[in-house]
Chains A and B, each alone.
Chain A
């Protein structure tokens, strides 16, 4: 079946450091890929998405590229801020109903 695997957290970085959170997936067909972010005490927010191979999603300085050959969708940011501290979820959707399958989430803590 379809599944998503994320690197385990927590990831602890200093402000302005480079961020990578790894995400790999297993899926039949051609899924769409997403990164959602959950700030403390808030609901899930869509951060970025990519719908086909080699697409790059980007938002708020975050980027991820849909790599079909490595079945990966790694999240990157060149310079993190304290306000980026949150839990990040990688997800895929496939099939006609677009239900999402999530990874376990990766907690990011950014210190000044």
Chain B
């Protein structure tokens, strides 16, 4: 399967701990997006990479959040000092360059803060 892969699928952690998620996009896709989805809501945009450059960040992405995409391949999303409100599904998507290219989503990482 050559789709978008996210790890781990589930993460349970105590409040105040740091967590890191990984996303492996479809290999030829140079665009990578992170979204957050809370229960009963649609996904909300967090950040966007074109190759290794982070070109846009949402105001939702507080200082505790950081994302990287070294070498323009996989990406990581780290949350420091987790809070209850960080509990959500974190989705990664990738696409080809160009207007109207569809985004392909991974199955997401579900984060639960105890």
Contacts and interface: CB of A to CB of B under 8 A. Distances in A.
Interface of A: 4, 32, 34, 36, 42-46, 49, 51, 89, 91, 93, 97-105
Contacts, number: 60
Contacts of A93: 100
B25 interface: no
B42 A89 contact: yes
Contact of A98 (B101, B107, B108): B101
B80 to A, nearest CB: 24
State the main secondary structure of chain A at its contact with B.
Answer: strand
Interface residues of B, number: 27
Contacts of A102: 42-44
B100 A42 contact: no
B70 interface: no
Nearest to B56: A97
Contacts of A36: 105
A32 B102 CA distance: 10
B108 A43 contact: yes
B103 to A, nearest CB: 6
B19 to A, nearest CB: 20
